[in-house]
Structure 1
C-alpha cells in the first residue's frame, strides 16, 4: 500500500508552507531501481553480489565511512568507487566485473520524470520556493540544464561534504532558502532521509509515485489542488 508521510501539525498547515525541497534520483527521475535491474540483466551481473554490497554499504546498519558514504561526501571520485564496487561484484558465471564505467552503466536508464518535473513547476508557479537536496554518486547522473532551470537553491552532498540524513544537510538548504524547518516540505523516496528531515522539524512526503506525491503536496499547498494534474503514465 502506498503511504505518503504527510505531517500532523496544529493549525492550518498550508499557511505555513513557503518552500518545498525535492530529492533528485528516484523522485525527479524514473525509479533508480528499474535502471539497476536492467543493468544487472543486461550485463549478467550476479544480483546477490550487488544486493549484498549495497546492504553492507548503505543500509541503516552500515558503519560510517563506507564507499557509498565517501562517494556521497565527495571524499572519493567515481573512478575510485567503480574499482571498489567491481571488487565486490561477479557475473552470473562467476567471472570478475570490469570497473570501467560501472556507475554510468548502473544509472544509464535513469531519465527525468515528466510528471514530477511538471509538479515542481506547478509548486514554483504557486509562489512557493522550490529547492534541490541530493546525495550525489559522483558528478554524473544529473541533468544539469534541467536542474539549473528549475531550482535557484541547490545542495549536492559531494560539493558540500555533508549528506542526508545528517541534520547539517537539511540546514544548508534551509539556510539557502532563508526559511525555517516548519515552513518547508521535504520530498524523498528514501525513508531514512525522510525521517532525518522530520527530526529537524520539516514537513515530509515519502515519495512513491508522482500521483501520490502530488496529492500529498496538494493537501499542504491549496493552489496545487486547483491545478490540472498530468495524466498518469
Structure 2
C-alpha cells in the first residue's frame, strides 16, 4: 500500500529526548543514571507518571506520588523537579521535514504522551520555565492535520487504542502510515497494527530512515 501519512511522536522526535535532561538532573542530584526512567518503569500502567499523562491526577498529586515512588526505590526526588526539566529542545531539521512532507502532499499526525498543560502553575516556576517556548510548540503543532494528546483523551502509548484513534481521525489504514517514536515499546503496537515503525535514536537517523521509506529527500 502507498504510504500517505506520517505520524510523529513529539518529545524525543520533534524535540531532543527528555531522557537527556533526566540524566542531567540525576547527575546534579547524585542519583544513579536512569533513575527517573526506573521510577517510571515500575508499575508502568498505574504509577504517578502514567496517571498524570492520562490526566487522572493533578501536578501537586504527581509531585507527591512520584516522590513516594522514588523513596520506595531508595532515593529522594520530588516530582516537580522532573517536570521542570521535561521540555526538550526543538530540532529545526525535524520541523523543516514537516514542511517538506506537507508540501509533498503527505498527511501529518502527532501522537504524544504529555501532561496537562494547565498544571504548570500548580507546581511552581520550575515547570513554567519548561513551557517557556509554548508559542513555538503551538506553531509546530499547527503543522499537523491531527494531534492526539494523552492528557486530553485519557489514553497513553503504548495502548493500541491511541494509534487506532489516529487512523480513525485521519480516515487512513495503518498500512498507509509511517510512525516515528523514540521508544521501542511505543513503536511495537504501531507495527503490530501494520504501520511502518521507525525507532528514533537521533534526528539525523530518523530523517535518513524516513527518507528511505518515503523516497523523499529530507535534510538531516
TM range (shorter): 0.7 to 0.9
Q: Which moved more, 1:172-181 or 1:19-28?
A: 172-181
For residues 193 and 41 of structure 2, the distance between their equivalents in structure 1, rounded to whole angstroms, comes to: 26
Q: Which moved more, 1:203-212 or 1:21-30?
A: 203-212
Which residue pairs with 1:85 in the alignment? 66
Where do 4+ consecutive residues of structure 1 move more than 6 Å? none
Which residue is equivalent to 2:7?
Answer: 21
Name whichever structure is richer in helix by fraction: 2
The equivalent residue for 1:198 is 191
Long gaps (5+) in structure 2: 121-129
Equivalent residues of 1:67, 1:81 under 8 A apart: yes
Give the TM-score, by structure 2 length.
0.81
CA deviation map 1:32-62 (0-9, x unaligned): 11111122233x252365454233143xxxx
Q: Alpha carbon RMSD of aligned pairs, Å?
A: 2.4
Out of 211, 214, 218, the position equivalent to 1:221 is 214
Q: Which residue of 1 aligns with 2:104?
A: 126
Say how many residue pairs are matched: 202
Please say which of residues 138-147 and 191-200 is displaced more in the overlay: 138-147
1:107 aligns with 2:86: yes
The aligned residue for residue 39 of structure 1 is: 25
What's the counterpart of residue 140 of structure 2?
Answer: 147
Question: Does the aligned pair in 1 maintain the 2:49–2:66 contact within 8 Å?
Answer: no
- Residue 37 to residue 182, structure 1, CA distance change in 2 (3 Å): same
Instruction: Describe how 1:165-184 pairs up with structure 2 within 5 A.
Output: 165-184=158-177
CA distance in 2 between partners of 1:46 and 1:217 (Å): 36
* Shift in alpha-carbon separation, 1:218–1:95, aligned structure 2, 3 A: closer
Whichever of the two has the greater Rg, that structure is 1
User: Take 1:196 and 1:98, find their aligned partners in 2: how far apart are those partners?
Assistant: 31
